Structure 1
Amino acid sequence: MKIGIIGTGGVGGYFGARLAAAGNEVHFLARGAHLKAIQEKGLQVKSIKKDVLIQPALASDLISDLSQCDLVIFACKAWQIREIAPQLAQSLQKKALLLPLQNGVLAADELSEFFDRKQILGGLCMIFSYIEAPGIIKHVGLQEPMIIFGELDQAKSERCELIRELLKKADIRCKLSDDIQSSIWQKFILICLSGVGTIANQGYGLIRETPESRSILIDVLTEVSQIAKAKNINLPENIVEKSMSIIDSYPADSMSSLARDVLSGKTSEIDYQNGTVVRFGKELGIATPANKFVLGMVKLLEQKQLA
């Protein structure tokens, strides 16, 4: 299968390399020194699961090079969807499927502004990974990387079965969800805690062990769960407790991609995380003080780093 990877970072680089190693024709979209290194030396993945080297790798910075792909995986930052989608829509074949793996809950809706909604699947991924050096992706942590996906209308489809087989053959753990919106929101509620770690400049260990900061985590989760309930998202009744148990299982020094972005002076996804919660809260008449605090403080840090 011809597969396009938009964003060859920790997510796209890891999963794209696995798919290429399984014999698929994978086209990687990258830029700068990272792109140059991939073109000259190939794409390398360092992982406790299994190292991979794709050499040569099909990589460029031209969106038009993805025009004949059968499947395009969006692994870029959430805020980049609106930049890339209109350009891709001009050249991508109409029968192509789109699989967004962004943090947040808006990717499919934003893509549907530029593509036929029937082309779009819902998706998310679980992975701790990053660009270690140009051309090199580092997968860390004991959690096995995973992709969860499904039809937006909850239907069962042959195309989803084909993608599941595609991922399995590439040795990528995957799950075909019968309620992808619920799956996306179960991850969303977790990533809304990323801003707390960013503000503290700490891994999850000390934050969850300190009573005062732990209570902030719980307040953020509670507000997101209230928003989800108001939007008729099917989440477990104990979603707050379940989410905290997951946070308690993370390595103590683990930090989110949002924290890494903000603290390294890059544009973050905060508007697609706590910012989305605050916006939904205003629309629904639900108070979100904890998320508003996190949003404000992360915005402040962003301005400080960019100054």
Structure 2
Amino acid sequence: MRILVVGAGAVGGYFGGRLAAAGQDVTFLVRPGRADRLKRDGLVISSARGDLTLSEPRTILAGVDTEPFDLVLLSCKAYSLDDAIDSFAPLVGESTVILPLLNGMRHIDVLTEKFGAARVLGGQCVIAATLNAEQHIVHLNEMHAVTFGELAGGTSERIAAIEAVLSSANFDATVSDNILLRMWEKWVFLATLAASTCLMRGSVGDILAAPDGKRVIENLLGECRAVAENKGFTMGPDFDARATQTLFTPSPLTASMLRDVENHSHTEADHILGDLISRGGDAQKGEHGLSLLRIAYSHLKTYEARQARTS
């Protein structure tokens, strides 16, 4: 199976690197600067689950003429989706399958409109990773999992084939027969975490230490769940247990979106919070017509407006 990994950043580089190390046929679609760095230093992963250096990862640049790939692994930032599509679209053939690992749901709409629903799978990943000053991938914890499945549910021969490939590498690969629900669960959790930690400018532990901090998280979680339920996706007891353990236990956990704000970087506010609000309908009307989720989103859009004005 010929695999194209779009980008070689923290997420794509990690999972693509693990696949390449396992002997799979992996090519990274990268920009010229990243290609030069990989040629010079190799693809370097520092991880508690095993360090890895690929001395000569296979790379191509956008516009290079080559045969279509069997699987496209897409893990760009949501605000870079259009540029990413332009770069890999010529490499998509009749039998190519696209597996996106982005958060939220807007990318599914964009990809299915561009390539057709038959070529797009649902997917998500759980990993905390970043690039250090040397552009090496640093895995920040021990979680490294990919979950994927058919958008229509159930299973298929191509899902089984992809599972066999992904399962050969040193990360957890799981097939879901209801991947859309899994994606909505992650979206609800991530939106709650991002909205609360960005709005309050602190970790989960910091928020819970505040007089009404727990109520803030509870209300945001309820608002985000209401959107999902309004769209027919009901979170079950397993989600409740995970959310309770993570969101209501004091810890230094923050959303990566807060780190983006603190680093004066671009955020995925439109894709994680804004798109959720746009899908909410009546579920988003608070007591006075303005929910906490909308306030958190406005908070982030104010940050973006200030960045645009002062940069």
Output the TM-score relative to the length of structure 2: 0.89
CA-to-aligned-CA distance 1:58-106 (integer Å, 9 cap, x gap)? 2344264675321111100112223332453334222111000001122
- Residue 294 of structure 2 corresponds to residue 292 of structure 1: yes
Deviates more, 1:60-69 or 1:24-33: 60-69
Give the distance between the partners of 2:234 and 2:173, measured in 1 at CA. 21
Corresponding residue for residue 271 of structure 1: 270
Question: For this pair of structures, how many residues does the alignment match?
Answer: 304
Name the SS of the counterpart of 2:266 in structure 1: coil
Call closer, same or farther: CA 1:160–1:253 in 2, change over 3 Å. Answer: same
Q: Is the 8 A contact 1:46 1:138 kept in 2?
A: yes
Secondary structure of the 2:219 match is: helix
Q: Is the 8 A contact 2:76 2:84 kept in 1?
A: no
CA distance in 2, matches of 1:213, 1:18: 40
Q: Which residue number corresponds to residue 173 of structure 1?
A: 172
CA distance, structure 2, for counterparts of residue 35 and residue 249 of structure 1: 42
Kindly tell me: are residues 162 and 286 of structure 1, through their superposed partners in 2, closer, same or farther at Cα, counting changes over 3 Å?
Answer: same
Q: How does 1:1-307 map to 2 (within 5 A)?
A: 1-31=1-31, 33-62=33-62, 64=64, 68-142=68-142, 144-192=143-191, 193-236=193-236, 239=239, 242-248=242-248, 252-282=251-281, 284=282, 286-287=284-285, 289-306=291-308, 307=310
Matched residue type, 2:253: S
Q: Secondary structure at the match of 2:280?
A: helix
Unaligned runs of 5+ in 1: none
d(CA) in 1 for partners of 2:232, 2:219:
20
Contact 1:41/1:135, CA 8 A, preserved across alignment: no
Give, in whole Å, the separation in 2 of the partners of 1:67 and 1:285: 47
* One-letter code aligned to 2:83: E
* Mapped partners of 1:35, 1:220: distance in 2: 42
Q: Secondary structure at the match of 2:69?
A: coil
Q: CA deviation at 1:129?
A: 0.6
Cα 1:301–1:35, aligned 2, differ >3 Å: closer, same or farther?
farther
Deviation at 1:298, TM superposition (A): 1.3
Contact 1:225 1:240 in 2 (8 A): no
Report if aligned partners of 2:223, 2:283 keep a CA contact under 8 Å in 1. Answer: no
* Structure 2 letter corresponding to 1:258: M
Quote how far apart the aligned CAs of 1:10 are: 1.7
